[in-house]
Amino acid sequence: MKARLVVALFFLGALIFGLPFTVSQSQAQNTQDSSDLAKFAALLQYIRSQPTPTEVKTDNIPVLDTLDTALTDIYVTGFITPYTGETAEQVKARLQSVPEEDRFTAVMVESYRLSPNPLLLDIVHLLLPLYYVEFFTAAEGLDASAEFLKRADIESLADAFDSTNYSIPAPSATEPPVVTGSPQLDRAALVTLYNATDGLNWTRNLNWFTDKPLDEWHGVSTDDDGRVTRLNLWDNQLSGAIPSELANLTDLEQLSLWGNQLSGAIPPLSLAISPICLDSTSATTN
């Protein structure tokens, strides 16, 4: 059983770093109180409740903190740092003010608030509870787990779930400021471009939206500091409006977007940039 839960963790990591979905920021914010998230948070609360419910396998409870820590790392890296420009350590420092038993839930809530991929999060929060139920309770098999999640005790806790109770404090003035222009911001800008231009259906999108180094993403070149210097996505079936976040590529020297179906204005870029190639696209320089 423990092995199956470990497999589920690897599956989650693969989902986050390998299967992008193109959903807008506003959609992500609107699903912050999703029923799947609420049920998962309610399940965690139920398992941790005192006295321990008779249906919970007490021998497995010590594993819960280990799982929370592992999953927190995945969420922080996959759904928070790409959109805040912080390091994982900075995010975890902000988490210290949240009660330890609530930190994993707080990270899930923050992920919904920031991520442009609420559909992916909903899938995760639909699957993980089934494995948690099977591992931590007397339910045997995924069918029994699904039935367990429908019971009134979990449903009532889920109905009472309020994501505002699990807010992570914003970065304070005493924290090191996020430097304007960084490999983290470059990665976030490229992810935004991918989502805004239907990256899943690009002709060539090798390694995009993965945790591989940026210079291994198709069409991306970087300098020795990991900053993006060239972005060549010509004739690659990009479709949609060019996002303003492209301006965060402050070390960009060459941009080639011709042969795509793009619209809108190119945001202000570095003065050192070479002529922008926009042939066969309706996008314009700003």
Q: What is the pLDDT of residues 127-167, one digit of tens each?
A: 888 888 888 887 777 778 778 877 767 888 888 888 888 88
Please report which confidence band the pLDDT of residue 30 belongs to, taking 50, 70 and 90 as the band edges: very low
Instruction: Please list the residue range(s) of the chain that carry CATH number 3.80.10.10.
Output: 183-285
Of residues 9 and 67, which shows the higher confidence score?
A: 67
Minimal CA–CA distance to 122: which of 55, 39, 198? Answer: 39
Summarised one tens digit per residue, pLDDT across range 214-262 is 999 999 999 999 999 999 999 999 999 888 888 889 888 888 888 999 8
What is the helix (H) or strand (E) element at residue 136, kind and residue range?
helix 118-136
- Give the three-state DSSP class for 66: helix
Model pLDDT, residue 143: 79
Summarised one tens digit per residue, pLDDT across range 179-219 is 567 888 899 899 989 988 999 999 999 999 888 999 999 99
CATH code: domain 183-285 is 3.80.10.10
Minimal CA–CA distance to 215: which of 205, 204, 226? Answer: 226
Instruction: Give the separation between CA 44 and CA 41, rounded to whole angstroms.
Output: 5
